[in-house]
Structure 1
Amino acid sequence: MKDTTPLDQGWSLHHEGNRLPATVPGCVHTDLLDAGLIPDPFLDANELEVAWVGRRDWTYTLELPAHGSRHERTDLVFDGLDTAATVTLGGTELGSTRNMHRRYRFDATGLDGELKVAFTSAYTEAERVRTLVGDRPNVYPEPFQYIRKMASSFGWDWGPTLPSAGIWKPARLEHWSTARIAEVRPLVTVDGSTGLVELHVTVERTATGTGRPLTLRASVAGALAEAVLDGDTAVLTLEAADVALWWPRGYGEQPRYDLGLTLADGDDLLDTWQRRIGFRTVELHRTPDATGTPFTLAVNGEALFVRGANWIPDDTLITRVTPARYRHRLQQAADANIDLIRVWGGGIYEQEPFYEACDELGLLVWQDFLFACSAYPEEQPLRGEIEAEARDNVVRLMPHPSLVLWNGNNENLWGFRDWGWEEELKGDAAGADSWGEGYYLGVLPRIVAELDPTRPYAAGSPWSGSWDHHPNDTDHGTHHSWEVWNRQDFAEYRASVPRFVAEFGWQAPPAHATLRRALPTEDLAADSPGMLHHQKAEDGNGKLNRGVERHFELPTGPGAFDRWHYLTQLVQARAIATGIEHWRSHWPHCAGTVVWQINDCWPVSSWAAVDGDGRLKPLHHELRRLYADRLLTLQPADRDGAPRIALVNQGAETWTTALRLRRLDADGRVIAETTAELTAAPRSVHQLPVPDGLLPADGSGKEYLVADADGLRAVHFPVPDKVFAYPAPEFDLAVEEAGDGAHDVVVTARTLVRDLLLQPDRIDPAATADRGLTTLLPGERTTIRVHGVTGTPTAEQVRAAVFCVEPS
């Protein structure tokens, strides 16, 4: 049987002639932090103070004693090296690497002594490749498209510039004889209630194992298969009767089954392989219809409106992301009623615990291949690396039932057409036909079709499906909506109905306690030095301020920052609500939204719903409402100009409800009211026009509309907040013990109180609240449960953490 020796202890990092203790898996930055040699790059402007780290070469060493293995072969295995490295053992060079996204295996039989992994600076390697292949367009001034490394480690419009180096995944010695299992590709499908597994197996043999008949045995859900292997490859087929289907969350359960494989030489067990799989089908409907080209995912034959979010690396120093942290962050996504996570192409193929958590939680995974926002050369040495990387990761990830889509790139096809690349590349003979298209429309779909035909492939996001249409055409395929936020008010989301919105978003700063930790000595202001350093978007604060100014007066004077902080977070939540409510009301023409983004990689002003310290922004609570099975929305105008009410029912049961519709004035007086019994069929949208006499007059600054149904509420104000005649908000507040250390904050409104928000971290940095923005009419009451407060907060402490819309 194969023996494995983990190599996770005793490593050293060599720094300016000094030998430092090193952690494996880990990276240079975390080792230097542990040694106290650099400041925390996430605090203040320390990122700039540690820029030198990414431009140095680094060496890791480990003394390997003679192992005396009884086996014929010893392999040195690295699951991930970041990035350009030379590996030597006992003075013998085993090989070199230039791709952090691949696994590496070196024959180390008979070798011992000093194991050395010498890393070249990522900048040095990238510049070397750029010299070989020539320059290409790039949206950022960093050379990330010339090296197969996490692009966002070189900085992004939400992330710091901290390219690291290190042995970022586990390392080990594997000792084996005769043969080992080298690769397993399970093609998992289902026919009715019968689960089908076609297991493609490749073995590697030693010289003495060549030609020997070996036995492969596989099992899953009571089904067995066996094959005698004379060569190096075999296919085993298993048919498992009466399996339960794996469903995305909200559509059913997520049963999984152990799929096991053994390799034996007679009675001698040589190697084993095991994964947990789920039985389900996935389709991507892209047949043109009367209005364009749909992009509709279907699982087990059920067409979905995707309720998604984009995922970036959860920490720029990615080795700090533990299985528990993956699970917690993905549970936060599930708690927001998200059912799909898009792993964005400027990050990494995430580690196994990420996909295992998605399998368990029923979170569908859209996996980008790792290309983002740049023209990528198609020459060697990159081309061979990219093919090897794609093959490695397709095989690694395909057992996961949560994985439902392979996507070729992020925004590169769009960039070629709209960002000046086409003309720039025409002027460069070397790059005219070498910018990435050959990967997205050639290499990658060929690899997916060969290795994983059970899943659909899309060439890019956005992508209309063909050069016959603009890459970001709203009527064809996937669409990225960035004119809103960059240039337009969020009301402009209602101007179009894309077939699938794969990116859209609005910025806001992180929670107050997160800012205080990241900027511990700063007098916080919207434009204070630390706030600006932790704002990486081009004109980010200008866009934040313009977004606020379209609806509110920008705060000035005492308390201006706290008020600005609240308003920017409020506008973020309202912006995303405007888009999702509009697009969900147009199902099935629009088949999904994937908000940018669920998480952050450090403390920063960004589009995230969960900030860099893991605290929930108001947007997270709003997503929970927006992505619930049942959504009530008031749409002020559709494409025909008629205001309407929409009941969106994504549940499996019919929704019958009593709708109450009220037209009120600013002081809470009911001007007109009606009720109606409404029914929305399963997985459908029921719409009706706002009845005559209920809609506030156009331009009225004194009237608004409220719809209530089954505890859901929608409001419509016909004018921006800054011209509405809000009364000064008045409410009573009480704090009550709720048991188990929790407290209930009870708020009773005496006037209209719009978008009330308790920021629990202002009471205690560890505190959380169970709800976000809430609008109360006069006389209404709400209870906010707060966990994590040390001691009992006073009403005064709580009131200082409560905000709402105020008159201008």
Structure 2
Amino acid sequence: MFRNSLQLRIFHTVSPERAGADTRMFFKYTRFLLLLVSAFSLRAQSQYELNTGWTCAPIRDVKVAGTELSQPGYALSGWMPAVVPGTVLTTLLENGKVPDPFYGMNNERIPDIYDTGRDYYTYWFAKDFTEKAGRNEEVWLHFRGINYSCDVFLNGQKVNAQTHKGMFLRQRYRITDLLAKDGKNRLAVIVHPPDPVGNAERGQGGDGTIARNVSHQYVAGWDWIQPIRDRNTGIWDKVTIEKTGAVDLKNPHVVTRVPGVRKVKGPQAPAQIQVSAELENPTGKTVTGTLQYTLDGQTIAKEVTIAANSTVAVALPELTLPNPHLWWPHGYGPQPLYTLPLSFAVDGKKVSDRDTVTVGVREIQTEWNTHTRSKQVLVNGQKVFIKGGNWIISDAMLRFTPERYDAEIRFHRDMNLNLIRIWGGALSERPEFYQACDKYGLLVIQDFWMSGDCNGRWLDPIKKDDQWTRRQYPDDHGLFLTSAADQIKLIRNHASLAMWCGGNEITPPEDILLSLRDSILPALDGTRWFIDYSNSDSMSFNSIGGNGDGPYGIQPINTFWEHRTFPFNSEVGSVGVGDYESLTRFIPEQNLIAPDFEKRTVDSVWDYHKYIGYDQYIAPYGKAKDAQDFARKAQLVNYDQYRALMEGFSSHMWDWYTGTIIWKTQNPWTALRGQMYDCYLDVNACLYGLRNGSAPLHIMYDPVQGMVMLVNNGFETKRDLMMVVKTYDLAGKETLVTQVFNEIQGSTAKNFLPIKSTVDAFRAKEGGFLSLQLLDTDQNVVSDNLYWLPDSTGQYSGLQKMKKASLSIATKADGKGKIEVTLSNPANGPVAFFNRLALVDPKTKERILPVFFDDNYVSVRPGEQKTVTLDYTSSDPVELSVEGWNVQKLYVPVR
């Protein structure tokens, strides 16, 4: 079993029986660590999380009512430990009651709720905790997410007057008067699954009826995942206790205005900061006090009177922030964040409640590009070419941690992307996700909970209801709108949140759409672009016959350069099988059989995990001998596909395109498609091909026109750049084609050198390497791109018979989780081609995950040195492994 240095999640290279035990042990350790972290951070704000010590039992085994269960003295004999936050299925997995559904075909061994009935996954959850209210104190119970409906009991009393419904609606209860006098309390919650649960037999969202709920839709199965058997029923998000004085400060709102067109560097004109908050007084007396905040040394305050048993919304005077440190998307500038403490003090003296908001000062605008006929996005007055990825969810079973979010968003930053779109069949993402996006500079499009597949856009005989009925899903429009308003308040303060979207490939029903667009969003946000649906004409007008979103699946490289799609393409994607080590974690040994395109055969486990064909694209490297050889060659295809995808779109920026978003960049399940890293957080070559092709300043080769091009995504002109063009044959012989100084303006893609005839003549016999480098005036390499070229028949005949390279490796560790690896290839030999670096346990040779590389799948030219930096968190001994196309696998100690 591999080691995960962030202790995020452990999956399995062992038998399903051992796998379940390892998962349970891991969860206990991880939850202990998270308790320490959350307790420290939350108690500083008079809050703490209830995330350990829960127990649960299925409703069929419970014969008494919640009023009796929630009595502190009632014995909960036979109840099992529960995962909270978590789902019923994660609890069953931790207790060894089900096999790991991510491994092999184990998911088929778990009863599906459609077959068992809803009561099978209806569970009681109970938690004993110590708390009592002091003098002039109020105590509040918060649930940040329960799926799907629930009733809450505390110390023999029902807390909620009506059954709570809705996966995306927070619950908040004043429990001051319900707490036990001795401070020993019991909380009991009965959680019911969605209704209906949907038949997940086949199709996108199964029979579609899961969408009748205000819930996520992928749990009934999709083309990238098998069904989640309990439909993620459970207390899936945080449960917290909050203590305040007489007045509770809630739902703060911070808006930043950055007028004009700004530059990244130099002095800045002022920005305007607008702050508001809600103040609730649950007591029987009128309370007067001061609401105030401090930002960058300035304090803004306002005296407020709140009547008894009432809530008021208070807007504070606007603050002018001189010379602000502006927040920019990744690739355009830094991401500074301010801390804004906000408090309410009764009579201006004793603090009743406080909150802290992290603020990125930026303003996001959009405008219509009349040339491309699509929207373009501006940040701080500067247009940004969107290079994005579609995100499903961090984990299909809702096992979220801040550390995992941070790692995944960091990977997206490392891809040189600047946007993530949250797909409408999943969640409104958690604040911890947005915190990571704020940190790493990823803009976000947040879809609401609609998808054309379930919500009636297309005729679909698999669906239970007709299109007219499905078009009006969900059943409760009021609940949808109430949930939307609540989630807007939850995440609206994040600098990264850039756009709202009504749904995936369909608008919400008209009454929901109009309420969102015309009432709710203007009142609660009012600063962001609202797209009515993900491929709307208002986003990207389809003005040329035959274009659209996509293409999906593997493509000839030229497609990305010459095939014109939607000018702001919300979904374009390709393949994404991980390497052999990744496959062994979830595919049993007997099923590690390479797909055979010629015979049209795919192993049943590969098929179950949604393998999407590499078709004829493996064969040019030589027919795959086995699964290990297939996965090795698939990485070459992966790198080439995603480099070409982003290079092709970038080559037409502001001409054909204002942006593109890859479908998709991650998998929350062990799927065999559309991922730059797998759900164990192990990277594959997709990530580094995309990282190369998406680089903010980039030299590249257009295979259609035969042109060397430069792309400059930044705002400033880059001058005195030396373009160096060389070829290397398979023996390593170098030929200089040309080198020339040039410059390129900001936000531009430009043709420079036509070399098609030279390249075609060079590669005709057995292929070879085309080397493109961009050097600054100090001769530092600022962009490096090495293409491997097929022969005139389209085969990589030369690669198949390359001689071994004698790569030497040196490591230098700083003792703080960073390692510099220097790869040296002697002159007079071949290119050391496509080397995969990994950190491993010195004894077991299993990979340590996650590790962040500033490059990987690295090729080293003859006579060249390359340095790669690794970043990781493990404090245990590590070893470096390096293996390349023509480099024997090496293990190098790291000291």
TM-score (norm 2): 0.75
Are 1:13 and 2:56 an aligned pair? yes
2:856 counterpart of 1:772: yes
Change (3 A) 1:407 1:474: farther
2:149 to 84, 94, 99: 84
C-alpha deviations, 1:590-634, integer Å up to 9, x for none?
222322333221333121101111111011112221121221111
1:260 maps to which of 331, 335, 341: 341
SS at match of 2:328: coil
Is the contact between residue 150 and residue 347 of structure 1 (CA under 8 Å) also seen in structure 2?
Answer: yes
Matched, 1:394 2:488: yes
SS of the residue 1:357 aligns to: helix
- Secondary structure, aligned partner of 2:150: strand
Cα distance in structure 1, aligned partners of 2:473 and 2:859: 57
Choose 64-73 or 651-660, whichever is displaced more. Answer: 64-73
Give the aligned residue type for 1:96: T
SS at match of 2:151: strand
SS in 2 for 1:722: coil
Kept in 2, the 8 Å contact 1:472–1:480? The answer is no
The answer on 1:233 being equivalent to 2:313 is yes
Inter-partner Cα distance in structure 1 for 2:136 and 2:354: 16
Q: Partner of 2:190 in structure 1? A: 118
Q: Cα distance 1:5–1:152, how it changes in 2: closer, same or farther (>3 A)?
A: same
User: Helix, strand or coil for the counterpart of 2:409?
Assistant: helix
Instruction: Give the C-alpha shift of residue 576 in structure 1.
Output: 1.7
| Greater displacement, 26-35 / 104-113 | 104-113
Tell me how far 1:269 sits from its aligned partner. 2.9
Q: Distance in 2 between matches of 1:790 and 1:199?
A: 48
* Aligned residue type for 2:503: N
Confirm whether residue 285 of structure 1 aligns to residue 367 of structure 2: yes
The 1-side partners of 2:883 and 2:175 are apart by 67
Structure 1 residue 594 and structure 2 residue 648: aligned?
no
**Structure 2 SS opposite 1:480:** coil
User: Offset of 1:277 from its aligned partner?
Assistant: 0.9
Structure 2 equivalent of residue 39 of structure 1: 99
Q: Which residue of 2 aligns with 1:429?
A: none
How far the C-alpha of 1:301 sits from its partner, in A, is 0.9
Paired position in structure 1 for 2:708: 645
Assess, with a 3 A threshold, how the Cα gap between structure 1 residues 441 and 140 changes in structure 2: closer, same or farther: farther
* Correspondence 1:405 to 2:496: no
One-letter amino acid of the counterpart of residue 29, structure 1: L
Tell me how far apart the structure 1 counterparts of residues 592 and 315 of structure 2 sit (CA, whole Å). 63
AA matched with 2:320: A
Are 1:507 and 1:606, in contact at CA under 8 Å, matched by a contact in 2?
Answer: yes
Give per-residue Cα distances to partners, 1:134-171, cap 9 Å, x unaligned. Answer: xxx96644533122223223333223422222212222
Q: Are the equivalent residues in 2 in contact too, given 1:505–1:607 (CA < 8 A)?
A: yes
Which of 585, 593, 597 pairs up with 1:525? 593
Q: Paired residues, what number?
A: 753
- Report if the CA contact (8 A) 1:465-1:471 is conserved: no
The alignment-based identity, stated in percent, is 21
Counterpart in 1 of 2:737? Answer: 673
Change (3 A) 1:782 1:249: closer
Out of 146, 149, 159, the position equivalent to 2:225 is 159
Query: Superposed, which structure 2 residues align to 1:488-507 within 5 Å?
Result: 489-494=556-561, 495-496=563-564, 498-507=566-575
Residues 395/230 of structure 1: CA separation in 2 closer, same or farther (3 Å cut): same
Secondary structure of the corresponding residue to residue 393 of structure 2: coil
In the alignment, which residue of structure 2 is the partner of 1:311?
Answer: 391
| Inter-partner Cα distance in structure 1 for 2:392 and 2:729 | 44
Distance 2:644 2:618 in 1: 15
- 2:615 pairs, out of 520, 545, 550, with 545
Do the aligned partners of residues 60 and 700 (structure 1) sit closer, same or farther apart at CA in structure 2, a change above 3 Å counting?
same
Alignment of 1:557-636 (within 5 A): 559-589=625-655, 590-636=657-703
Q: 1:761 to 1:148 in 2, by over 3 A?
A: farther
Alpha-carbon distance, 1:758 to partner: 2.8
Residue of structure 2 equivalent to 1:51: 111
CA distances 1:101-157 after superposition (whole Å, capped 9, x unpaired): 2211234453356533212233x44469x9xxxxxx966445331222232233332
- The answer for the alignment partner of 2:32 in structure 1 is none
Residues in 1 aligned to 2:217 and 2:576: alpha-carbon distance in whole angstroms:
23
1:358 to 2:434 alignment? no
Q: Structure 1 regions of 5+ residues with no counterpart?
A: 131-136, 414-434, 803-808
Residue 156 of structure 1 contacts residue 536 of structure 1 at CA under 8 Å; is this kept in 2? no
The 8 Å contact of residues 178 and 208 in structure 1, kept in 2 or not, is answered as: no
Q: Distance in 2 between matches of 1:497 and 1:503?
A: 10
Q: Given the alignment, which residue of 422, 428, 434 partners 1:343?
A: 422
Distance 1:801 1:150, change over 3 A: farther
- Rate the CA distance shift 1:127–1:310 in 2: closer, same or farther, 3 A: closer
Cα distance in 1 for partners of 2:426, 2:868 equals 37
- Quick check: 377-386 or 757-766, which moved more? 757-766
Letter in 1 for 2:501: N
User: What is the CA distance between 1:34 and its match in structure 2?
Assistant: 2.3
Q: TM-score scaled to structure 1, two decimals? A: 0.83
Instruction: Name the SS of the counterpart of 2:558 in structure 1.
Output: helix
CA contact (8 A) 2:391 2:422 kept: yes
Q: Deviations over 1:235-281 (max 9, x none)?
A: 21231331222222332222222223322331343222221112111
1:781 offset after TM fit, Å?
6.8
| C-alpha separation in 1, matches of 2:576 and 2:50 | 43
Shift of 1:577: 1.7
Alpha-carbon deviations, 1:13-54, whole Å to 9, x = none? 104634112232222222222222222222221112223478
Q: After the TM superposition, which residues 264-275 of structure 1 pair with which residues of structure 2 at under 5 Å, given as runs?
A: 264-266=345-347, 267-275=349-357
Q: What residue number does 1:696 align with?
A: 760
Q: Is the 8 A contact 1:749 1:781 kept in 2?
A: no
Offset of residue 718 of structure 1: 7.1
Q: 3-state DSSP class of the match of 1:569?
A: helix
Deviation at 1:330, TM superposition (A): 1.6
Q: Secondary structure at the match of 1:410?
A: coil
Secondary structure at the aligned position of 2:303 is classed as strand
Match in the other structure for 1:416:
none
Which position in structure 2 is the counterpart of 1:511?
579
Corresponding residue SS for 2:569: strand
Structure 2 residue aligned with 1:134: none
More displaced, 166-175 or 562-571? 166-175
Q: Corresponding residue for 1:27?
A: 87
- Report the 3-state secondary structure (helix = DSSP H, G, I; strand = E; otherwise coil) of the residue aligned with 2:614: helix
Q: Which amino acid aligns with 1:25?
A: P
Distance 1:149 1:384 in 2: 14
Deviations 1:465-489 (A, max 9, x none): 189x5599898xxx6313554xx54
Q: Does residue 1:683 correspond to 2:683, yes or no?
A: no
CA distance in structure 1 between the aligned counterparts of 2:536 and 2:106, rounded to whole angstroms: 39
Cα RMSD, aligned residues only:
3.8
Unaligned stretches of 5+ in structure 2?
1-43, 62-77, 180-184, 260-267, 456-469, 776-780, 814-818, 891-895
Q: Are 1:179 and 1:203, in contact at CA under 8 Å, matched by a contact in 2?
A: yes
Mark the CA change 1:6 to 1:713 in structure 2 (over 3 Å): closer, same or farther.
Answer: closer
Change (3 A) 1:498 1:99: same
Q: Which amino acid aligns with 2:751?
A: Q
Q: CA deviation at 1:566?
A: 1.9
Deviates more, 1:149-158 or 1:715-724: 715-724
2:445 pairs with 1:385: no
Q: Which moved more, 1:305-314 or 1:70-79?
A: 70-79
Residues 246 and 32 (structure 1 numbering): CA distance in 2 closer, same or farther, change over 3 Å?
same
Moved more, 293-302 or 766-775: 766-775
Q: What residue in structure 2 maps to residue 420 of structure 1? A: none
What are the equivalent positions in structure 2 for 1:437-516 lying under 5 Å apart?
438-440=511-513, 443-444=516-517, 446-465=519-538, 470=542, 480-483=549-552, 485=554, 489-494=556-561, 495-496=563-564, 498-516=566-584
